[in-house]
Structure 1
Amino acid sequence: MKTNNTYIKFAAFAAVLLFNSCNDQYLERYPLSELAPENYFRTASELQTYTNAFYSDLPDALAIHYNNPNQGDDEARNTLAAEFQGTRTTPSSGGGWSWTVLRKINFYLANSHKCADEGARLQYDGVARFFRAYFYFDKIQRFGDVPLYETVNELDDPAMFKARDSRKIVFAKVIEDLDYAIANCRDTKSAQLITKWTALAYKSRICLFEGTFRKYHGLGDWEAILEEGVKAADELMKSNTYSIYKSDEKRAYHELFIAEDAIASEMILSRQYSAAVPYVHSANFYILSASYGRPGMVKQLVNSYLMKDGTRFTDKPNFEKIGFYEETQNRDPRLSQTIRTPGYKRIGATTTSVPDFATSVTGYQYIKYILAPAFDAGQSTNDMPIIRYAEVLLNYAEAKAELGNLTQADIDRSIKLLRDRVGMPNLLLSAANSAPDPYLLASYPHVTKSGQTGAILEIRRERRIELVKEGLRYQDLLRWKEGAKLAQPFYGMYFSGAGEYDLDQDGKLDLVIYQGTAPTKKPGVQYQKLGELVLENGSNGGRIVNLPDIDKKWIESKDYYYPIPTQELQLNNKLEQNEGWDKSGT
């Protein structure tokens, strides 16, 4: 049952409706006298009501578990995002170049001093400044350099037509806002509200991004930023406010993502859903329907999961030609808690289910976020993760490794906790660095070659597995300068060719891959025609090939940023377009 927090339903709905009744872009009109700045912002409740509206800008379920390109190279579908095809063009307007949210935040900060309750003002100013940091960091990730506005400017103000400020200047202001939020937001733990802990966790995230982006893109000044991220994560870790959720190693990881209420011991910030509001999402429908891309994990990611004893699956001879049943045995338990593997039963079911090729293009079918069949029509109510404590631990370990000062003690208080949850052996620093994984080395050609190369690679493995389908992979590839991975083929399960397959080895036929005329169909058996199901070597078998007739393309010189819309360039001649993009829309 959902908690009793009415606000926590991300229902700042009253506030959203109230403020949307104003001029959406500039808040120049105040049709309700209560909103006029001379009459509003007088009480703690008014500050809360206004800042509640900012929560609607946090990612929703679609952005977290579904939207491309957020899943990066972890997931194949029967459609491709423009980012994967190199078909993005410069839009005339929109394209993420919107300042409406910033205007509202700055409007609040310009007026909150009217509240005589200093404690409330400091708290809600902290929330507002968290969201301003959140707003600007999104812009940095998308565009690089952007104009910095800290006050409310009118349309005819010359400051509205300024050049872009350096990302380094803007990022410094982002950190300044986050530090204010850390100092002034409430320190009571909440999975739905912005707190001191949320701000610390988010600071660890963005410092890792910005530090590694600058490092791998040759922008300089990265070490101090990674150190700031380490300090933020360390402060949160030492507070003992959060912990890694544990129950049974065979189900603890999966339980995090099907919980009706976010598991507060680990979820630092989540998007809350409830049938009572109603405010629901469609994870079951999008993942299990044949109508929305038929998402499936790619084989490259399946390969990355270690064996249960900590050895590497990719050290096995001919590992790319191992069939589904064998490749899923004795693996890191997170694999069977993320996709359907032999023996899988849906919640509430008494019988097992094999992967459904009608709804998964690779055969590796997700179970993360999937509730009972009663929710299949698009009424899911499980809360969705935005920031987890597990990510903070990963941020800490990766930043230390990139700085070159990661120790075994650091691993023991970070990576080990994630592996303990699922009964996996600990990562040993000396072993990782003395013999870096060749498969991972080939996967990440830009990784820093140093005395801690092996550790960096293993932490990337751990991050990919732990945070899969949580909307962070695309940004990871950008900061590591590995965008070209999006242009590589996405593969699925291996099959030796046409034939009959018992996928879970329970003695019952599950799948027939056939050539020519379809055989007489038997109940409970899936049929796939060779050629419609494309194997890399045709009738000689191989891995499933996702979208073999569509070219994927990544242009290193331009695709790490998005273009500024042409309309904005025309309105403000001081703006300069990002490299590789121009004003003509190409």
Structure 2
Amino acid sequence: MNYKRILFISAICFSLFACTEDFLNKEPLSEVTPDNFFATASDLQLYTNGFYRMFPATSIYNGDSRTDNLIQNELSDELRGTRLVPTSGGGWDWEYLRDINFFLENYERSDDEAAKNKYGGIARLFRAYFYFEKLQRFGEVPWYETTIDPTDEEALTKPRDSRQFIAGKILEDLNWAIEHMPAEQEVYEVTKFTALALKSRVGLYEGTYEKYRGIEGYESYLEASVEASEELITNSPYTIYSTGNPQEDYANLFNSHDAIGTEMILARAYSEALNIGHNVNYYTTTSSYGRPGMPKDLVNSYLNSDGSRFTDQENYNQVFFTEEVDDRDPRLEQTIRTPGYTRKGQSMELAPNLGATVTGYQVTKFVTEPVYDTNGQSITDLPLFRFGEVVLNYAEAKAELNTLTQEDLDNSLNLLRERVAMPHLSMETANSHPDSFLAGQYPNVYGSNKGVILEIRRERRIELFMEDFRWDDIVRWKAGETLTQPIRGMYFPGAGEYDLTGDGETNVVLYEGERPGNLISGVQYYELGADITLDENGLIEPHPDFGNRTFNENKDYLYPIPRIELQLNPNLEQNPGWE
């Protein structure tokens, strides 16, 4: 069944499997019982279709706003260090787990062996996905693999299991799915390849999380990531999407209405016909919602087109916009508005709209034709798992294991560089001259592979921008202090007239005091100190009131368990620092 249709059907049909408000001990409605369901492949498919609602929607592209990747008009609680312990909610929800376990207890009633392998694998994949999210958010949590009787107080008041136990169970479910699911290529349905991609992600996350906290045995998780990634690299139909046009291919991968299945292992579908949309165009183009922008430190991270470091030059923070974006990694001009930018399907060149972005660097990733600019009308399919992530996982896991070779890099990360005609990353060069700019962001990277690990992190931040990886990367690298570094935007030397398109025409005026008379149509006017604040170096300071932000190393890597859950289950312990 086409996943675009699954999205529509699941929104209607999932109420068949709805549960009462009690978590974990809910009984399904009478329409779904072991005696009258789970007999045919269609039954198994219909039930598992409901699991797709677990996948994120808009958070795919605005999840980075929790971090230093995507700066909005309001800073997240994570960036400000102002998270509080919630009374309820807070991500401590278990509805899907009960539904998954109910399915796994009953699906083998079917006589269709092929269907049992496929849908049993799908259910285990979703249970792994469910628990992986819990592990990332809360750390140790109770593991349940059966439905819970509402009178079973011992089960309902179960203490947490260790994170190693949870991670092991996640990999166990994924290995079962990988072994039993057919090797189908379906961009809108989970498959064996999705299970491999999730295993690649889980292994890298847990391996680095434990390594950077000095926990013994982390190697096995990194090896699991390498194993899954290598299988996808060598024995799957996926490749890095490229038509041989390095100036457009990266952008086109993300502004295509329909997911490009050569690289997208799994995508979330949107449809104009079914009126299923999201708001990425509205989010990135309007002055009244979010005003997201790329921060300057990320712009600085993009290499020059010859592979040299932009930050090696003097006064790199005070280079005017048209010069700083010139002759850089082509992914920069395919991610933000730069001179020559036109909307998809349009020919008019547009300057960055400083009213729609707090940093001046206006995001264009996922943005399509202006006809979809109305809130909730964007129909770009959004990536959930793609091959580009897998090759980065592979390179990083091998680097952290000290088993990485130049051949490994050429068969993984350097494929991403080839797409945009960037020089290959040289392991020898990177390790002999580690980048001091990156080392300042990640001071706990050490060892003989320090330089190449830093470069892999550069590549990951650039390639996966706005795909909601940055928070999890910061957590697993134990790099929380990175989030407290100053947030800055575009450079302006002061009040004056500016040309942001390089065509010799003024399109931005910054002024002090009275607004200029005789306003010119199409020119943007902003008052310094009111509309835009510049710091002492001439950089846009989008949040001058939040200059001294904090990150508590003893608590902020995990989220707190809601108070009511601690009252309901006295055997739960609050995460450290949140007591």
Same fold (TM over 0.5): yes
Q: 1:199: Cα distance to partner?
A: 0.5
- Please list the CA deviations of residues 324-362 of structure 1 after superposition, one character each: whole Å capped at 9, or x if unmatched: 000011000000000000011111222100000110011
Q: Which residue of 2 aligns with 1:366?
A: 363
Other structure's SS at 1:244 match: coil
Aligned partner of 1:526 among 524, 527, 542: 524
1:230-245 pair list within 5 angstroms: 230-245=226-241
Other structure's SS at 1:490 match: coil
Q: 1:422: Cα distance to partner?
A: 0.6
Aligned partner of 1:53 among 50, 70, 73: 50
Aligned partner of 1:89 among 84, 88, 98: 84
Q: 1:291: Cα distance to partner?
A: 2.1
1:140-179 pair list within 5 angstroms: 140-157=135-152, 158-179=154-175
Letter in 1 for 2:388: A
Other structure's SS at 1:581 match: coil
Distance across 2 between alignment mates of 1:104 and 1:24:
13
Q: 1:459 to 1:29 in 2, by over 3 A?
A: closer
Q: 1:28: Cα distance to partner?
A: 4.7
1:213-228 pair list within 5 angstroms: 213-228=209-224
Distance across 2 between alignment mates of 1:168 and 1:250:
44
Letter in 1 for 2:230: D
Q: Which runs of 4+ in 1 moved over 6 A?
A: 21-24
Instruction: Name which of structure 1's ranges 17-26 and 394-403 shifts more when overlaid on structure 2.
Output: 17-26
Distance across 2 between alignment mates of 1:315 and 1:10:
51
Instruction: Name which of structure 1's ranges 86-95 and 208-217 shifts more when overlaid on structure 2.
Output: 86-95
CA RMSD of aligned residues (A): 1.5
Q: 1:234: Cα distance to partner?
A: 0.3
Q: Which residue of 2 aligns with 1:536?
A: 535
Q: 1:15: Cα distance to partner?
A: 3.0
Contact 2:251 2:334 in 1 (8 A): yes
Contact 1:208 1:399 in 2 (8 A): yes
Aligned partner of 2:373 among 371, 376, 391: 376
Other structure's SS at 1:255 match: helix
Q: 1:26: Cα distance to partner?
A: 5.5
Other structure's SS at 1:291 match: coil
Q: Which residue of 2 aligns with 1:388?
A: 386
Instruction: Name which of structure 1's ranges 214-223 and 332-341 shifts more when overlaid on structure 2.
Output: 214-223
Distance across 2 between alignment mates of 1:559 and 1:303:
27
Q: 1:59: Cα distance to partner?
A: 1.1
Distance across 2 between alignment mates of 1:153 and 1:241:
41
How many pairs were matched up? 573
Q: 1:31 to 1:574 in 2, by over 3 A?
A: closer
Other structure's SS at 1:385 match: strand
Aligned partner of 2:59 among 48, 63, 75: 63
Aligned partner of 2:343 among 342, 346, 350: 346
Other structure's SS at 1:75 match: coil
Distance across 2 between alignment mates of 1:56 and 1:478:
25
Contact 1:401 1:455 in 2 (8 A): yes
Instruction: Name which of structure 1's ranges 457-466 and 85-94 shifts more when overlaid on structure 2.
Output: 85-94
Instruction: Name which of structure 1's ranges 36-45 and 357-366 shifts more when overlaid on structure 2.
Output: 36-45
Other structure's SS at 1:544 match: coil
Other structure's SS at 1:386 match: strand
Other structure's SS at 2:259 match: coil
Q: 1:179: Cα distance to partner?
A: 0.4
Q: Say if 2:107 is the partner of 1:107.
A: no
Distance across 2 between alignment mates of 1:24 and 1:382:
36
Distance across 1 between alignment mates of 2:4 and 2:68:
38
Aligned partner of 1:118 among 100, 113, 117: 113
Contact 1:569 1:577 in 2 (8 A): yes
Q: 1:210: Cα distance to partner?
A: 0.5
Instruction: Name which of structure 1's ranges 288-297 and 391-400 shifts more when overlaid on structure 2.
Output: 288-297
Letter in 1 for 2:127: R
Letter in 2 for 1:261: D
Distance across 1 between alignment mates of 2:315 and 2:28:
68
- Please list the CA deviations of residues 193-230 of structure 1 after superposition, one character each: whole Å capped at 9, or x if unmatched: 11111110111111111100001122221111101100
Q: 1:413 to 1:38 in 2, by over 3 A?
A: same
Contact 1:10 1:56 in 2 (8 A): no
1:123-522 pair list within 5 angstroms: 123-157=118-152, 158-247=154-243, 248-378=245-375, 379-447=377-445, 449-520=446-517, 521-522=519-520
Q: 1:69: Cα distance to partner?
A: 4.5
Distance across 1 between alignment mates of 2:147 and 2:3:
33
Q: 1:253: Cα distance to partner?
A: 0.3
Other structure's SS at 2:525 match: strand
Other structure's SS at 2:266 match: strand
Q: 1:552: Cα distance to partner?
A: 2.2
Q: 1:569 to 1:306 in 2, by over 3 A?
A: same
Other structure's SS at 1:491 match: coil
Distance across 2 between alignment mates of 1:176 and 1:402:
23
Distance across 1 between alignment mates of 2:108 and 2:41:
11
Distance across 2 between alignment mates of 1:575 and 1:128:
27
Distance across 2 between alignment mates of 1:318 and 1:381:
41
Aligned partner of 1:578 among 567, 575, 579: 575
Letter in 2 for 1:426: H
Instruction: Name which of structure 1's ranges 83-92 and 310-319 shifts more when overlaid on structure 2.
Output: 83-92
Letter in 2 for 1:230: V
Letter in 2 for 1:525: V
- Please list the CA deviations of residues 509-561 of structure 1 after superposition, one character each: whole Å capped at 9, or x if unmatched: 11111111111121111111111211111xxx511112111242211110001
Unaligned segments of structure 2, at least 5 residues:
none
Q: 1:264: Cα distance to partner?
A: 0.4
Contact 2:302 2:310 in 1 (8 A): yes
Q: Which residue of 2 aligns with 1:15?
A: 13
Contact 2:65 2:71 in 1 (8 A): no
Contact 1:290 1:359 in 2 (8 A): yes
Q: 1:421: Cα distance to partner?
A: 0.5
Contact 2:17 2:99 in 1 (8 A): no
Distance across 2 between alignment mates of 1:178 and 1:113:
18
**TM norm structure 2:** 0.96
Distance across 2 between alignment mates of 1:190 and 1:173:
26
Contact 1:489 1:546 in 2 (8 A): no
Letter in 1 for 2:39: R
Letter in 1 for 2:129: Y
Contact 2:286 2:356 in 1 (8 A): yes
Q: Which residue of 2 aligns with 1:73?
A: 68
Distance across 2 between alignment mates of 1:501 and 1:451:
46
Distance across 2 between alignment mates of 1:385 and 1:510:
35
Distance across 1 between alignment mates of 2:22 and 2:34:
16
Letter in 1 for 2:137: R
Q: 1:156: Cα distance to partner?
A: 1.9
Q: 1:79 to 1:28 in 2, by over 3 A?
A: closer
Q: 1:23: Cα distance to partner?
A: 6.8
Q: 1:241: Cα distance to partner?
A: 1.2
Other structure's SS at 1:500 match: strand
Q: 1:512 to 1:277 in 2, by over 3 A?
A: same
**TM norm structure 1:** 0.95
Q: 1:330 to 1:94 in 2, by over 3 A?
A: same
Q: 1:32: Cα distance to partner?
A: 4.4
Q: Which residue of 1 aligns with 2:41?
A: 44
- Please list the CA deviations of residues 228-264 of structure 1 after superposition, one character each: whole Å capped at 9, or x if unmatched: 1001100111114100110211000000111111000
Q: 1:517 to 1:140 in 2, by over 3 A?
A: same
Other structure's SS at 1:335 match: helix
Q: 1:563 to 1:459 in 2, by over 3 A?
A: same
Letter in 2 for 1:421: R
Contact 1:69 1:474 in 2 (8 A): no
Letter in 1 for 2:166: V
Q: 1:292: Cα distance to partner?
A: 1.9
Instruction: Name which of structure 1's ranges 107-116 and 481-490 shifts more when overlaid on structure 2.
Output: 481-490
